[in-house]
Amino acid sequence: FTPGLEPQPTWCPGCGDFGVLKALKQAMPEVGRTPDETLLCTGIGCSGKLNSYFESYGFHTIHGRSLPVARAAKLANPGLEVVAAGGDGDGYGIGGNHFMHTARENHDMTYIVFNNEIFGLTKGQTSPTSPKGHKSKTQPHGSAKDPIRPLSLSLTSGASFIARTAAVNPNQAKDILIEAMEHDGFAHVDFLTQCPTWNKDARQYVPYIDINDSEDYDFDPTNRAEAQEMMRTTEDKLYEGEVLTGVYYRDEERPSYGQEKRQIGEMPETPLAERYFDEDYEWERTHDLFLDKHK
Ligand code: SF4
């Protein structure tokens, strides 16, 4: 990315991805982070282009693999604000294993999943969030399977901050991204993004409800059981035509992966990024240790 030479997005007119970009651009300065303190890792898909349009360090990884790269970067340089992003096919399908284990280990980062219920870049194939019965070129008679429940999966896996927002609501999206980035631990944001080119039926076009503001929904996001119930309701209602959004779960007590590793002495206090540039640092090489042990 060259400052002053900002590339123009090539997303289709009306694409929800514009909403993610706008919310992220508005949120980052409010978190107090500059482009040179920020890393944005993306997967493959229309969403993967995000870091081409966002002023920060960027790493366009391979399909479903934004999270392992983001994890490595955060562990090597904990001072970085690390954001990973990808689509629902990229994150819940191809990279689903990374999603579960990054949540389980509570790596300190924000993970934005552009959820448009299809694979967009490759022309609208059925994805893990496509509703049962959804017709596409890969499932012309309609998807036979129920979709994944991303919020519930995230909670079960161990994420310590879980939210859903929508591109049609940029103010809520910005506020949720700020909260996610300020959270210490794995913050998962399921971001409903419409794809007007390949999925005109998506629920993202209907009005949404903010569960944190609505009088109809009274629950405590710091209570795991109540959060779980709220997620179940949200995931059921999505396919019945009611879009619920908001912050579902927040656990501020649980240490992140890096914090825990440092506490038990498995990771040096000085991060790798600093050690690497310290000419006086005495490296303990695994190979040398192995040779010493087997002399
Ligand atoms: Fe957006 Fe869909 Fe176009 Fe991709 S194909 S840029 S997701 S509208």
Q: Are strands 208-210 and 243-250 parallel, antiparallel or unpaired?
A: parallel
Summarised one tens digit per residue, pLDDT across range 141-187 is 999 999 999 999 999 999 999 999 999 999 999 999 999 999 999 99
In a domain, 234, yes or no: yes
Tell whether pTM > 0.90: yes
- Give the distance (Å) from ligand 1 centre to CA of residue 244: 23
Rounded CA-CA distance 1/189 in Å is 25
- Give the distance (Å) from ligand 1 centre to CA of residue 249: 29
Q: Are strands 161-166 and 109-115 parallel, antiparallel or unpaired?
A: unpaired
- Give the distance (Å) from ligand 1 centre to CA of residue 24: 18
The pLDDT of residue 275 is 86
The secondary structure of 116-146 as a DSSP string is -SEETTTTSEE-TTSPTT---SSSTT---SP
Does residue 185 contact residue 110 with C-beta atoms inside 8 Å? no
Closest atom of ligand 1 relative to the 198 alpha carbon: 2
In a domain, 11, yes or no: no
- Give the distance (Å) from ligand 1 centre to CA of residue 254: 37
Does residue 196 contact residue 143 with C-beta atoms inside 8 Å? no
- Give the distance (Å) from ligand 1 centre to CA of residue 199: 9
Rounded CA-CA distance 240/190 in Å is 18
In a domain, 292, yes or no: no
Closest atom of ligand 1 relative to the 46 alpha carbon: 4
In the chain, the percentage of residues whose pLDDT exceeds 70 is: 93
Which of 198, 199, 200 has most ligand 1 atoms within 8 Å of CB, for mutation?
A: 198
Domain with 262 in it: what CATH number?
3.40.50.970
Q: How many helices (H) and strands (E) does the chain have?
A: 10, 10
Summarised one tens digit per residue, pLDDT across range 72-112 is 999 999 999 999 999 999 999 999 999 999 999 999 999 99
In a domain, 151, yes or no: yes
The pLDDT of residue 130 is 95
Closest atom of ligand 1 relative to the 199 alpha carbon: 2
Total domains in the chain come to 1
- Give the distance (Å) from ligand 1 centre to CA of residue 124: 9
- Give the distance (Å) from ligand 1 centre to CA of residue 18: 10
In a domain, 283, yes or no: no
- Give the distance (Å) from ligand 1 centre to CA of residue 17: 8
Task: Name which of 57, 25, 30, 27 is nearest 42 in CA terms.
Answer: 57
Which of 50, 114, 118, 121 has most ligand 1 atoms within 8 Å of CB, for mutation?
A: 121
Does residue 89 contact residue 128 with C-beta atoms inside 8 Å? yes
Pocket of ligand 1 (CB under 6 A): 11-12, 15, 17, 46, 116, 120-121, 195-198
Does residue 82 contact residue 70 with C-beta atoms inside 8 Å? yes
Summarised one tens digit per residue, pLDDT across range 22-73 is 999 999 999 999 999 999 999 999 999 999 999 999 999 999 999 999 999 9
Q: Whose CA is nearest to atom 2 of ligand 1?
A: 195
Closest atom of ligand 1 relative to the 196 alpha carbon: 8
In a domain, 275, yes or no: no
Q: Whose CA is nearest to atom 1 of ligand 1?
A: 15
Q: Any idea what DSSP says for residue 13?
A: T
Residue 176: give the domain boundaries: 17-266
Interval 3-15 mean pLDDT: 84
- What is the ipTM metric for this complex? 0.99
Return the CA Rg of the chain.
20
Summarised one tens digit per residue, pLDDT across range 234-287 is 999 998 889 999 999 999 999 999 999 999 988 888 888 988 888 877 776 556
Closest atom of ligand 1 relative to the 47 alpha carbon: 7
Top-confidence residue, 205 or 96: 96
- 3 state SS of 25: helix
The pLDDT of residue 202 is 66
In a domain, 271, yes or no: no
- Give the distance (Å) from ligand 1 centre to CA of residue 10: 9
- 3 state SS of 260: helix
Does residue 41 contact residue 51 with C-beta atoms inside 8 Å? yes
In a domain, 288, yes or no: no
